Amino acid sequence: MPNQNPISIPSASNASQIIINGAKSFAKKHKIITGSYIFGLLVLLLAGSGYKLSTGQQRDYNRMMSTIDLNAEYEASNRYHSAYSAYYATKGWFTCDYLCQRNKKRMDDSKRVLDSIRAEGYNRMSDAKSIAGLFSEVGVGEVKDSFWEYFASGKRFAKRQSMWDAMFMGMRSMSRDENMAEYVFKVLIQVLLNFSMGLVMALIFFIFGLWTIIKSYQPDPFTALVFFVSTACAGFAFVSSYLFLIYGAAAGGVYGVAKIAETNMRIAANANANQGEQQGQGRRNNVGYRPHYE
């Protein structure tokens, strides 16, 4: 029977060295990605919450924001939804009679009024934001709120998708008679993939929506470009670091389990070897003292 060599898992120091060498190799081959990540980390560490508004800026900002008529927008929104409900109740599948046409015209008119009020409110809000500035606590705070909203949405997607994947993978595992270790490992891989996909998509949506926020502050082109690049790199660095931590924790857990399994296999192999030696010694002793018959 051929000898079976036990699986050899590298030590913690060797595994750390392998990871470091891999990171160095990746950094050398992908300098733009590495530079963006490092720059994003610096932005996260040094940016803070933006500069505070002066007393004059705060007064002008509040005065401009107070000119936005929220009650008018609320009433216009209610009129539009009422007109839409009336139009939807009178229209047919493929036809629209006189009453339907009248309700449709009323709906279109209320929609134009609502859009006009909202546009006026947006312009006044944009003027107020231009007083505060893009790098102020107002601008940085709005961008942070937007990022955390997308980030939380990405995590919710990952958790919800992982729950469904675990359920369906469990049903398939029972039909294939897979052991618990294989099932847990597959679920772990799927959870990591779901978090990666959810957070990367959240970052993409955040970056696409970022320009709308920047444009509302009416900055000059250079300031807008610097803010956009800095914020995008900071978001990329945060999401990447978060995923690195998740993957590192998962890899550490798998490594610990594998080392325990390796130790148990070596103990079992040594025990089998000792048992085999004892049995062999016993057979030799039996042969030496076997009685002879004449």
Q: Tens-digit pLDDT profile for the chain (294 aa)?
A: 444 455 556 565 665 666 666 666 766 777 888 888 898 899 888 877 888 888 888 899 899 888 888 899 999 999 999 999 999 888 878 788 888 989 999 999 999 999 999 999 999 999 999 998 899 989 999 999 999 999 999 999 999 988 887 777 776 666 566 667 777 778 888 888 999 999 999 999 999 999 999 999 999 999 999 999 999 999 999 999 999 998 888 887 777 776 676 666 667 666 666 665 655 555 555 555 555 544
Measured between alpha carbons, how far is residue 67 from residues 72, 77, 120, 122 in Å?
11, 18, 10, 11
Q: Which long-range contacts (CB under 8 A, 24 or more apart) does 98-107 make?
A: 107/80, 107/83
Q: State which amino acid sits at residue 39.
A: F
Q: What gap in Å lies between CA 214 and CA 185, rounded to an integer? A: 43
For residue 173, the model assigns a pLDDT of 64
46: its two tokens: 């040094």
Q: What gap in Å lies between CA 268 and CA 271, rounded to an integer? A: 5
Cβ neighbour number for residue 205 with a 10 Å cutoff? 15
- Three-class secondary structure of residue 51 per DSSP: strand
pTM over 0.85: no
H-helix segments, the chain: 12-29, 31-46, 55-66, 70-90, 98-132, 137-176, 180-216, 221-288
Q: What gap in Å lies between CA 221 and CA 131, rounded to an integer? A: 17
Q: What gap in Å lies between CA 254 and CA 132, rounded to an integer? A: 50
- Three-class secondary structure of residue 50 per DSSP: coil
Contact residues for 132 (Cβ-Cβ < 8 A; gap 6+)? 53, 57, 61, 138, 139, 217
Q: What gap in Å lies between CA 144 and CA 142, rounded to an integer? A: 5
Q: State which amino acid sits at residue 102.
A: R
For residue 281, the model assigns a pLDDT of 59
Q: What gap in Å lies between CA 66 and CA 59, rounded to an integer? A: 11
Considering Cα of 263, then 266, then 270, then 276, what sign does the dihedral take?
positive
For residue 285, the model assigns a pLDDT of 56
Q: What gap in Å lies between CA 191 and CA 175, rounded to an integer? A: 21
For residue 235, the model assigns a pLDDT of 93
Closest by Cα among 14, 3, 8, 1 to 265: 8
For residue 2, the model assigns a pLDDT of 46
Closest by Cα among 15, 58, 18, 3 to 254: 15
